[in-house]
């Protein structure tokens, strides 16, 4: 029988961190080997049982991965770019695998992650859910069919606390559309329309962002043609779909060598 997959969770008391910890605690083939929070957090030195009510989870929350006493095979990180970049450096130095679901990376940070992943196995994806990654494939397939005479608009809605806009998922959808249509995403994405904008150009990809309440996440891709429109919609009703994907990625990484992967690789959707 295989040993349980030992995972360290970065940002364990955050919205996504808590979901990841709960699902890890329920999984028969995984274990929480350690958890971290930002230095200075009031939760450092407390157990996951105390902080988020996970029975039997007595490991103490540390201020960094370096401070975790028990060994682990995979790091799971849904935090912020500056935190995740430190996770990348740790994983690279120690040869530990990493699953990163953080969004909002700059182009330079993404290049650094790709170069660093030559030395360790990493799944880095803007969205870990099976449904969203199926949406990515559908968007590409539809865009290749509706090449002429169709406009594309991407609309995303998230909770009021989300830091980055558009969401990493929406950006990836925009990039997929641009790739399928042979365009430069940075040059053709339109993030705001106000005043006398003139007619919509055939090349532009509309990127619209809404923030309200406690919406977990919703993405709509609209293809508008003459006399018709086609819409592809994904709605996340719980963060568990993202956490489940992260666990799936962690399991998949166990038998992978160094390199940068995403959920399309994990799910076999290439």
The residues annotated with a catalytic role in the active site are: 158, 162
Q: Strands (DSSP E) along 28-133, which ranges?
A: 30-36, 61-62, 74-77, 97-100, 121-124
SS3 248: helix
Question: How remote is the C-alpha of 94 from its chain's centroid?
Answer: 23
Cβ-based neighbours of 194, under 8 Å, separated by 6 or more = none
Count helices and strands (H / E) in the chain. 9, 12
Structural tokens at position 8:
């360290």
Residue 7 burial (10 A CB sphere; 0-12, 13-18, 19+) = buried
Cβ-based neighbours of 157, under 8 Å, separated by 6 or more = 210, 211, 212, 215, 217, 218
d(CA 136, CA 174): 10
Q: What are phi and psi of 204, to 5 degrees?
A: -75, 150
């Amino acid at each position: 029988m295989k040993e349980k997959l030992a995972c360290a969770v970065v940002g364990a008391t955050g919205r996504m961190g808590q979901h990841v910890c709960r699902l890890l605690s329920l999984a028969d083939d995984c274990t929480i080997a350690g958890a971290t929070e930002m230095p200075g957090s009031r939760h450092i030195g407390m157990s996951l049982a105390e902080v988020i009510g996970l029975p039997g989870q007595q490991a103490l929350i540390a201020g960094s991965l370096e401070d975790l006493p028990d060994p682990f095979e995979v790091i799971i990180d849904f935090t912020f770019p500056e935190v995740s970049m430190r996770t990348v450096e740790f994983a690279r130095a120690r040869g530990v695998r990493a699953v990163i679901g953080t969004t909002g990376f700059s182009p330079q940070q993404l290049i650094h992650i790709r170069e660093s992943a030559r030395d360790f196995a990493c799944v880095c994806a803007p969205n870990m859910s099976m449904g969203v990654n199926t949406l990515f494939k559908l968007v590409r397939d539809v865009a290749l069919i509706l090449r002429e005479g169709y406009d594309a608009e991407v609309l995303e809605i998230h909770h009021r606390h989300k830091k980055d806009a558009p969401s990493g998922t929406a950006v990836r959808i925009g990039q997929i559309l641009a790739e399928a249509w042979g365009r430069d995403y940075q040059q053709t994405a339109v993030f705001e329309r106000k005043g006398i904008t003139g007619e919509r150009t055939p090349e532009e990809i509309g990127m619209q962002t809404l923030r309200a309440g406690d919406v977990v996440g919703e993405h709509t891709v609209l293809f508008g043609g003459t006399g018709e429109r086609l819409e592809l919609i994904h709605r996340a009703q719980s963060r568990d779909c993202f956490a489940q994907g992260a666990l799936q990625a962690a399991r998949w990484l166990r038998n992978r060598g160094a390199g940068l992967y995403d959920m399309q690789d994990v799910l076999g959707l290439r």
